[in-house]
Amino acid sequence: MTLSDAIGVSRSSEPAGVLPRDAWRLDNHPDLRPGEARLDVELLRLPAGLLTHLRDTVADEPGARRAVLLETVAERGKLQAPHGGSDGSVVGRVAASADHPSGVAPGRRAVAAATLGSVPLWLRHIAAWDGMSPIVPATGHAIVLPTTPLAVVRDDLDTAVAVSAAETAPVVAALRRLVAVDGRVALLGGTGGAGAVAGVAAREAGATSVAATAATLRDARLIEHVGAATPVVCDPGDAVQATRSLGAVLGGPADVAVAVAGAVAAAALTVRVGGTVVVAPSNDTLADVAASVRAVGRDIQLLLAGGHVAGEVALTLDLVGEYPRLRAVIAWHTGTGTDPTLGAAQRRRP
């Protein structure tokens, strides 16, 4: 197998010869080439940029947004936000494999750990999608390229939870490498499922003190429900105040900080000299991230948590599968579960 075949360049049909993510159109024909696998699609998680684009440009009517999504895939053979984007994922049953390196057998439910902009995709229908949620029930097929990790989803893990958790795998892998025993970890700007997963991953890696910013009291309750991090209600966009608040909870500067959009400057101030800021995938450009670090003038390491390696997605799914409270919080954020911090009577209220 050539390098071009392995990274899917042969699937780039317009223009030819470019990486799949850079192509306008991908060849989504179901016939497999060496090293590929084909999924019968069950669920998509839309790229954040694409969902924002649909909300901003298409009428607030589910049918209209479904039509645009289907037309996009029919025209381009993939899903990608108009201005790029680094996320989105797909889960389904393995229908066939031409010796995909993952070794996942046909019939197993699996998640493809690649941005949707690099996945050849064909959709039959998405009739159950409400036009608002990033989670899209779908039927069709997706081609998993040889270099795209394919991880089995355990039977007791909800599909929507799995497809959301898979996107956090690069951050989980970074924390496993960077966090030392007795370390301090700060989580900034990630009040959703990604932040919850990062908190548990930090504890599993040996951190004894983990603090997470919370935008609202409800977010703070969700962080407390998971139990891995201490919530700090503050705005990570206010770098000085966030640094003070996090430092007070951690008992000093963090060894590692995880930052999402708009929180890089605060993260750079929060870590000790020589510490590491892990930047989670977001809509920030690399230039924005670098400018935020330069603005505070700290001697730190900066790690962009992007891409996937074999095994890390499976480890992340196993981590989520072992913590029922973590699963419940992710389900709440994906819109497939109720608020786990409320009592049964409160959840029944309209």
Give exposure, 154-164, as e/b (b: 16+ Cβ within 10 Å). eeebbbbbbbb
Q: What's the confidence (pLDDT) of residue 346?
A: 46
pLDDT digits (tens, 9 = 90+) for 254-276: 999 999 767 889 999 999 999 99
Residue that wins the pLDDT comparison between 141 and 345 = 141
Rg (CA), the chain: 20
Q: What's the confidence (pLDDT) of residue 333?
A: 86
Please tell me the least confidently modeled range out of 14-28, 136-150, 168-182: 168-182
Q: What's the confidence (pLDDT) of residue 84?
A: 55
* 184-188 vs 135-137, strand pairing mode: unpaired
Torsions phi, psi of 213, nearest 5? -70, 145
pLDDT digits (tens, 9 = 90+) for 105-140: 999 999 998 888 899 999 999 999 999 998 999 999
**Cα–Cα distances in Å, from 300 out to 81, 176, 264, 297?**
32, 19, 12, 9
CATH classification for the domain delimited by 169-304, as one of 3.40.50.720, 3.30.1360.80, 3.10.450.50, 1.10.10.10: 3.40.50.720
Sign of the torsion formed by the C-alpha atoms of 211, 212, 216 and 217? negative
Q: In the predicted model, is pLDDT for residue 341 greater than 90?
A: no
Q: In the predicted model, is pLDDT for residue 293 greater than 80?
A: no
Q: What's the confidence (pLDDT) of residue 100?
A: 95
Q: What's the confidence (pLDDT) of residue 350?
A: 36
Token pair, residue 76, equals: 């381009």
Q: What's the confidence (pLDDT) of residue 248?
A: 97
Q: In the predicted model, is pLDDT for residue 96 greater than 60?
A: yes
Q: What's the confidence (pLDDT) of residue 90?
A: 94
Domain extents for the chain? 3-152, 169-304
Banded pLDDT at 345 (limits 50, 70, 90)? very low
Output the average pLDDT for the chain.
89
Give exposure, 62-78, as e/b (b: 16+ Cβ within 10 Å). eeebbebbbebbeebbb
pLDDT digits (tens, 9 = 90+) for 175-228: 999 998 889 999 997 667 888 999 999 999 999 999 999 989 999 999 999 999
Q: In the predicted model, is pLDDT for residue 74 greater than 50?
A: yes
Q: What's the predicted TM-score (pTM) here?
A: 0.87
* Nearest by Cα to 279 from 163, 213, 198, 196: 198
Q: What's the confidence (pLDDT) of residue 173?
A: 92
- Three-state SS at 232: strand
Mean pLDDT of 302-326: 87
Q: In the predicted model, is pLDDT for residue 82 greater than 80?
A: no
131 CB-near residues (< 8 Å, 6+ apart): 54, 60, 61, 62, 63, 64, 65, 66
88 CB-near residues (< 8 Å, 6+ apart): 44, 45, 46, 47, 50, 79, 115, 116, 117
Local structure of residue 260 (DSSP, 8 states): -
